[in-house]
A and B are shown apart, each in its own frame.
Chain A
């Protein structure tokens, strides 16, 4: 089993739609979780950290389920500018080893 698993997609959704991505992780000792966004040929940029109680930032909501070892990202009212690859990131270990998922590609269509 991969350390961090994501559906690579692509997810093609119309503008205004709600879309959700899941990410599962295998290391139960994982401590910190993030969603990053990567545009084509650019560096990954932090979208949001994922807190135990779940958190929201505008149209974006992140959830953590430690029992089932997955995190999720919900995007409401999708915009064309949301088109990108969304990377799930898990931080674990004594020296906080960081593992990236393969990313889920989102394409928002007019």
Chain B
């Protein structure tokens, strides 16, 4: 019974390519997130969607475009991949009630050659 699942788990591709990562949650949460964790291990929020609407958009290049077809799904499309995009990307979900934590997917390890 996977709560937050993201695919693929590993993604190795060449610079300049376009790729997508998918995320789905079956927890009934109304908010979903994308995080990037780079080689320095710092976990940084990229986007947050609440009921399919973008509510947080941190300073992220326009090459990154999230899409939420429904509140259980949040996908991330990346255009023109660059070496600096190599990182682990985590999807998470939560409710917006106070004291409710986020639940994370097990990450997508993106390596740019």
Contact = CB atoms under 8 A, between A and B. Distances in A.
Nearest to A99: B45
Contacts of A32: 98-100
Interface in A68-110: 85, 87, 89, 91, 95-100, 102-103
Contact of B105 (A36, A43, A95, A98): A43
A46 B33 CA distance: 16
B111 interface: no
Interface in B26-57: 31, 33, 35, 41-45, 48, 50, 55-56
A93 to B, nearest CB: 9
B96 interface: yes
Nearest to B6: A43
Interface residues of A, number: 25
Given A43-B90, A44-B43, A85-B41, A98 B102 contact: yes
Contacts, number: 60
Q: Could you tell me the dominant secondary structure of chain B's interface residues?
A: strand
Interface residues of B, number: 27
Nearest to B44: A100
Interface in A2-43: 31-32, 34, 36, 38, 41-43
A59 interface: no
A43 B104 contact: yes
Interface of B: 31, 33, 35, 41-45, 48, 50, 55-56, 88, 90, 94, 96, 98-107, 109
